[in-house]
Amino acid sequence: MPNDAEPRDMRHDWTRAEIAALYDLPFGDLIFRAQTLHRRYFAPNEVQLSTLLSIKTGGCPEDCAYCPQSAHYETGVDAAKLMDVDDVIAEARAAKAQGAQRFCMGAAWREPKDRDLDAVCAMVAGIKALGLETCATLGMLTRGQAEQLKTAGLDYYNHNLDTAPEYYGTIISTRVYRDRLDTLERVRAAGMKVCCGGIVGMGEVREHRIGMIAALANLPEHPDSVPINMLVKVAGTPLADAAALDELEFVRTIAAARVCMPKSVVRLSAGREGMDEALQALCFLAGANSIFCGSRLLTTPNPAHDTDRIMMDRLGLSPMGS
């Protein structure tokens, strides 16, 4: 189990050149580095399991080029209203029965309206009462909204930096990087745990992946949880035809996240539906120790519970803390 921290492991002064040097290592050497750190801070064969539910789907005013829920693109995702509190709690109960440890609620909002936030707070309280950890991703928050969520019992807030600062404007025009950093500061100040990561395979180059890892690792505190998403290409979005990212480059990105943020839980997040078991095994070897379970992410497919159970058995992985 975790040893005491080696002081030089926890750094907030990563240069891009240092991260580039990680990417440039022979593949085996990079994996060895990532494994060494992984085993220093985590039980090596444990995987944290989260379940996702889209509580408010589609019709989002933002123009994120990857997102099927943006109102700017014709993707076949219909806009729906915020779900009823009781229906969300029923879904959380079912997720718990399937082995989920954390229940994450996603909303296609630029930012929540105060009335909607009251309903989300009621969901949070009900889900916590089931004994699950709670997480939400609702867009930008004011200081007061972050405090309200914390008071309701929200454990984690997901808010991704998504890519390098210099590539952000290519992907999203309706907000800026600073907006994301401001919300992350408010979430942290309110005392919630931060879940913050990004997406790769969006037509970026390695320098942008390096810039994303640097931005995450050089936050004032490392995010508690770091989702690394492989772009799920959705017809109708501007990135529908983005070139596929080299698979080993994806594994290197996971390893770089593990090395630069050794105590953070790194989530092999969206994109698993398009990955075979061998690639996912490499991601776990590179330091990933969390997945979303259940056959749907927000609007796109994810491996079914049974598929993941078989994979975890074959790899000798067990749910974290069980």
Nearer to ligand SF4, 61 or 301 (CB): 61
In the bound complex, what is the minimum distance in angstroms from residue 187's beta carbon to ligand SF4?
16
Which of the choices ligand DTB, ligand SAM, ligand SF4, none does residue 163 contact, using the CB cut-off of 5 to 8 A by kind? none
Among 30, 89, 95, 108, binds ligand SF4 (CB under 6 A): 108
Which of the choices ligand DTB, ligand SF4, ligand SAM, none does residue 70 contact, using the CB cut-off of 5 to 8 A by kind? ligand SF4
Looking at 33, 64, 102, 188, which residue is catalytic?
Answer: 64
Among 48, 50, 69, 229, binds ligand SF4 (CB under 6 A): 69
Task: Give yes or no: 195 in active site.
Answer: yes
Binding footprint of ligand SF4, residue count (CB under 6 A) = 9
Helix H, strand E, coil C: the string for the chain is CCCCCCHHHCCCCCCHHHHHHHHHCCHHHHHHHHHHHHHHHCCCCEEEEEEEEEEECCCECCCCCCCCCECCCCCCCCCCCCCCHHHHHHHHHHHHHCCCCEEEEEECCCCCCHHHHHHHHHHHHHHHHCCCEEEEECCCCCHHHHHHHHHHCCCEEECCCECCHHHHHHHCCCCCHHHHHHHHHHHHHCCCEEECCEEECCCCCHHHHHHHHHHHHCCCCCCCEEEEEECCCCCCCCCCCCCCCCHHHHHHHHHHHHHHCCCCEEEECCCHHHCCHHHHHHHHHCCCCEEECCCECCCCECCCHHHHHHHHHHHCCEECCC
Among 22, 34, 49, 64, binds ligand SF4 (CB under 6 A): 64
Binding positions for ligand SF4, 134-193, rule CB under 6 A: 139
Positions in the binding site for ligand SAM (CB under 6 A): 66-67, 69, 106, 108-109, 137, 139, 159-160, 162, 199, 229, 231-232, 234, 270, 298
| Active-site residue list | 60, 64, 67, 104, 135, 195, 267
